Homo-oligomer: A and B are copies of this chain.
């Protein structure tokens, strides 16, 4: 029986984690929940899972949450009111909660970074679904992991696939120590990419891409921001950076393969030329479960993969001219230090501007490139946590100001020389 904390319990990762906990009551017990604004769902989750502590992001919601739980307790629908906390301190309290063995970090964006760090500092094992922890703050997080002995188990499908393929290597045996250190005999990692909403669009048609076009993912059902990241392939670029920090490989040993069916979730190539791949239906619950259950495999009634029914799996190389975000991500990764944090923040803000229809789809990479370019002179090689948060904020401001400066200009879609 593993005691788990779920950070971001009302989000996509959080709700799926709780579904798993409900499906496997002998294996997992939920001891802590944290949520943002969705009080109704949070209260349902509290009724269902009876956690010991609950954190809510906004202190102003605390009184309402307390009152509603009290009413429920009076109606005997909830046995006991959990310990309630709020704000960023509250989040950290829940993230480092004493009785938890494993913390599932489902909070999206830089907001997830601080509670994840709190969990790491408390020596908790982490099921990592918050990308920013490594992408923006890799240089900060790796030494913290070493210090606390906290272990990172990737909970997104690509890195889980790599992690599953790496079982039986020293990397998996020493997960505690090995984040950021390459495993002997591992030559390359190949991350698969569906190719996103525009995989069948010719590059020249992308200038007509609407928000609706970009938010319709062919395989995975995800939030809008991440679906746009799929369409630009920035999601894959960010995963490359995450894989670099997780598995310790140089960027030239992390490759991307377009695989439209999203059945092979990623592959490793070993020194002797053998390739191992992990496969499954496109469903986040499997990687989340494995991050929770490692090193064990828990029996599930989930739909079995059936390759004869699928018939064929196809593969191609990504078209770099169609997906300029890829090269931006590799460049930022190689620049290292604070540059990946800038890339990530600039991308989040650029996508937000696109979703608000303030910039064209094809301008997303242009806005990011310009922001990274400006940051070059301020790049810090060995940033502290505050530096990461600062450049993150700066990059968002820079994107907004850049978009404002160019918003009325006809050159917005063509300002790149």
Contacts and interface: CB of A to CB of B under 8 A. Distances in A.
Interface stretch (A54-62, A221-229, A236-244, A293-301): A293-301
A286 B271 CA distance: 11
Q: Which of A168, A279, A307, A316 has the most CB of B within 10 A?
A: A307
Nearest to A167: B168
A272 B257 contact: no
Given A172-B168, A279-B267, A300 B315 contact: no
A286 B273 contact: yes
A316 B311 contact: yes
Q: Can you tell how many copies of this chain the complex includes?
A: 2
A277 interface: yes
A278 B271 contact: no
Given A167-B167, A185-B296, A296-B185, A273 B305 contact: yes
Nearest to A317: B308
A280 interface: yes
A254 to B, nearest CB: 15
A278 B274 contact: yes
A305 B315 CA distance: 12
Interface in A148-188: 164-169, 172, 184-187
Contacts of A297: 184-186, 270-272, 274
Contacts of A308: 257-258, 315-317
27 contacts: A168-B169, A168-B295, A184-B296, A185-B296, A186-B297, A259-B307, A269-B304, A271-B298, A271-B299, A272-B289, A272-B290, A272-B298, A272-B300, A272-B302, A273-B281, A273-B286, A273-B300, A273-B302, A273-B303, A274-B286, A276-B279, A308-B316, A308-B317, A310-B315, A311-B314, A311-B316, A312-B314
A111 interface: no
A313 interface: yes
A275 B269 contact: no
Interface string A306-344: 011011111111000000000000000000000000000
A165 B276 contact: yes
Nearest to A173: B168
A258 B310 CA distance: 13
B279 A277 contact: yes
Nearest to A168: B167
Given A269-B305, A275-B279, A310-B315, 5 more contacts: A259-B307, A273-B286, A273-B304, A274-B297, A311-B314
A314 B185 CA distance: 29
Contacts of A289: 272
Given A299-B271, A312-B312, A312-B315, A276 B164 contact: yes
Nearest to A265: B274
A164 B316 contact: no
A274 B264 CA distance: 10
A271 B300 CA distance: 6
Scoring A172, A269, A272 by chain B CB atoms within 10 A of each residue's CB, the highest score goes to A272
A88 to B, nearest CB: 35
A369 B295 CA distance: 44
Contacts of A190: 307
Kindly list the 8 A-B residue pairs having the minimum CB-CB distance in the complex, ordered from nearest.
Answer: A167-B168, A185-B297, A168-B168, A307-B315, A275-B279, A271-B297, A271-B299, A273-B302
B280 A273 contact: yes
A274 B280 contact: yes
A279 B276 CA distance: 6
A170 to B, nearest CB: 9
